[in-house]
Homo-oligomer: A and B are copies of this chain.
Amino acid sequence: MAFENRSFDAVFYEAFEEEEKVLREFLPQDVNCLFTWKTIQESGHELPPSPIISTRTQSEFPDAWSPHLKAIMTRSTGYDHVSSYIIRNGMRDRISCAYLPDYAARAVAEQAMLLWTALSRKMKKQMKSFESFNRDGLTGGEVFGKTILVAGVGRIGSKIVEIASGLGMKVLGFDIKPQKVLEEKFFLKYVSLEDALPTADIVVCALPLTSGTEGLFNYALLSKVKKGAFFINIARGEISPSIDILKLLDESRLGGAGLDVYDCERELALYLRGGRSAGDFPDGPGKRAEAVLKMMERDDVVLFPHNAFNTVESVRRKCCQAVENLSCFLNEGRFLTPVEF
* Contact string against B for A residues 103-145, beta-carbon threshold 8 Å, 1 for contact and 0 otherwise: 0001100110110011011010011011111110011111111
Are A127 and B302 in touch, CB under 8 angstroms?
yes
Could you tell me the distance between the alpha carbons of A132 and B270 in the complex, rounded to whole angstroms?
9
Could you tell me how many residues of chain A have their Cβ less than 8 Å away from some Cβ of chain B? 53
Q: How many copies does the complex hold?
A: 2
Is residue A46 contacting chain B, with contact meaning CB distance below 8 A?
no
A107 in contact with B142 given A118-B114, A126-B305, A273-B132 (CB within 8 Å): yes
Could you tell me the distance between the alpha carbons of A319 and B108 in the complex, rounded to whole angstroms?
38
Could you tell me the distance between the alpha carbons of A307 and B272 in the complex, rounded to whole angstroms?
33
A127 in contact with B303 given A114-B121, A166-B168 (CB within 8 Å): yes
Are A106 and B142 in touch, CB under 8 angstroms?
yes
**Separation in Å of the A297 CB from the closest CB of chain B?**
11
Could you tell me the distance between the alpha carbons of A163 and B117 in the complex, rounded to whole angstroms?
13
Q: Which chain A residues (270-285) contact chain B, with CB distance < 8 Å? A: 272-273
Are A310 and B166 in touch, CB under 8 angstroms?
no
Q: Which residue in B129, B132, B307 is a CB contact (below 8 Å) of A135?
A: B307
In the complex, what residues of B have CB within 8 A of residue A145's CB?
313
Is residue A269 contacting chain B, with contact meaning CB distance below 8 A?
yes
Are B303 and A272 in touch, CB under 8 angstroms?
no
In the complex, what residues of B have CB within 8 A of residue A130's CB?
272, 296, 303-305
* Contact string against B for A residues 255-267, beta-carbon threshold 8 Å, 1 for contact and 0 otherwise: 0000000000100
Q: Which residue in B135, B139, B305, B313 is a CB contact (below 8 Å) of A312?
A: B139
Residue of B nearest to A128 (CB): B305
Could you tell me the distance between the alpha carbons of A127 and B64 in the complex, rounded to whole angstroms?
44
Is residue A69 contacting chain B, with contact meaning CB distance below 8 A?
no
In the complex, what residues of B have CB within 8 A of residue A269's CB?
133
Is residue A31 contacting chain B, with contact meaning CB distance below 8 A?
no
Q: Which residue in B120, B305, B313 is a CB contact (below 8 Å) of A138?
A: B305
Q: Which chain A residues (69-120) contact chain B, with CB distance < 8 Å? A: 106-107, 110-111, 113-114, 117-118, 120
Are B141 and A313 in touch, CB under 8 angstroms?
yes
Could you tell me the distance between the alpha carbons of A257 and B117 in the complex, rounded to whole angstroms?
18
* Contact string against B for A residues 312-338, beta-carbon threshold 8 Å, 1 for contact and 0 otherwise: 111100000000000000000000000
In the complex, what residues of B have CB within 8 A of residue A221's CB?
none
Residue of B nearest to A302 (CB): B127
Q: Which residue in B110, B272, B307 is a CB contact (below 8 Å) of A144?
A: B110
Of A120, A130, A302, A313, which is in contact with the most chain B CB atoms at under 10 Å from its CB?
Answer: A130
Are B305 and A133 in touch, CB under 8 angstroms?
yes
Are B110 and A142 in touch, CB under 8 angstroms?
yes
Is residue A306 contacting chain B, with contact meaning CB distance below 8 A?
yes
- A residues near B (Cβ < 8 Å) are 18, 106-107, 110-111, 113-114, 117-118, 120-121, 123, 126-127, 129-135, 138-145, 162-163, 165-168, 265, 268-269, 272-273, 296, 302-307, 310-315
